């Protein structure tokens, strides 16, 4: 029952956002994936790691500036969602809201992280059993603005079409809407 109420609430919120400022592109996206983009948020302790894009990157995939999805690697800002490398349990297109020293940022799960699956960093650095069991989420950021272990809000992707099936323009629209969605919730 709670899930049904929450889904209805999110559906109303997306429609309300569209009613505030008509956006034909957003209306097309809603027609394609449905009016519920994400589930209600779930708070979860994670080991939040950071990877860079471009020349200052530490691994070969980041150096290439590539991603598994069309969107490519991007840093988050207060106005724009960033990319996130995630384990297989978190569907691509899901949004993660993280509280940082620079404010609240949103990230979209658009990349898979091979090392994220193993959770080796969490197991090594965790002081408690809960920390050692925490999943690892790898945020694309120039520098880490959060503690190693942090509680984040996870909004699971709930679209009727998988994130990978969205065009580049539709993925970009979902990214731009994520930052607006988080701002309205704060």
Cβ within 8 Å of residue 8, ≥6 positions away: none
DSSP 92-159: TT-EEEEEETTEEEEEEEEEE-HHHHH-HHHHHH-SSHHHHHPPEEEEE-SS--S-SEEEEEEE-B--
**CA 182/CA 104 separation, integer angstroms:** 8
pLDDT for residue 146? 93
Query: Which residue, among 43, 46, 44, has the nearest Cα to 136 in the 3D structure?
Result: 46
The rounded Cα 156 to chain-centroid distance in angstroms is 9
Q: Which tokens belong to 60?
A: 């070969």
Show pLDDT as tens, one digit a residue, over the chain (186 residues).
444 444 444 444 444 444 455 588 889 889 999 988 999 999 999 999 888 876 444 444 444 544 545 677 888 888 888 888 888 889 999 999 999 988 899 999 987 766 666 666 666 788 899 998 888 898 989 899 999 999 999 999 999 999 989 988 898 888 888 877 766 655
pLDDT for residue 5? 40
pLDDT for residue 114? 65
**CA 63/CA 96 separation, integer angstroms:** 24
Q: Is 51 exposed, middle or buried (0-12, 13-18, 19+ CB in 10 A)?
A: buried
Backbone angles phi, psi at 29, to 5 degrees: -65, -45
């Amino acid at each position: 029952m709670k899930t049904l109420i929450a889904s209805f609430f999110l559906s109303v919120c997306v429609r309300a956002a569209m009613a505030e400022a008509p956006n034909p592109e957003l209306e097309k996206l809603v027609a394609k994936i449905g009016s519920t983009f994400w589930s209600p948020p779930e708070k979860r302790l994670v080991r939040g790691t950071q990877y860079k894009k471009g020349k200052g990157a530490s691994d070969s995939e980041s150096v290439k500036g590539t991603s598994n999805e069309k969107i490519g690697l991007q840093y988050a800002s207060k106005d724009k969602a960033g990319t996130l490398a995630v384990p297989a349990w978190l569907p691509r297109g899901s949004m993660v809201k993280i509280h940082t020293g620079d404010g609240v940022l949103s990230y979209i799960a658009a990349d898979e992280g091979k090392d994220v699956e193993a959770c080796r960093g969490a197991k090594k650095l965790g002081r408690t059993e809960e920390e050692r069991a925490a999943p690892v989420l790898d945020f694309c950021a120039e520098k880490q603005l959060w503690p190693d272990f942090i509680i984040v809000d996870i909004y699971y992707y709930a679209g009727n079409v998988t994130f990978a099936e969205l065009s580049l323009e539709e993925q970009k629209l979902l990214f731009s809407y994520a930052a607006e969605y988080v701002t309205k919730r704060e």
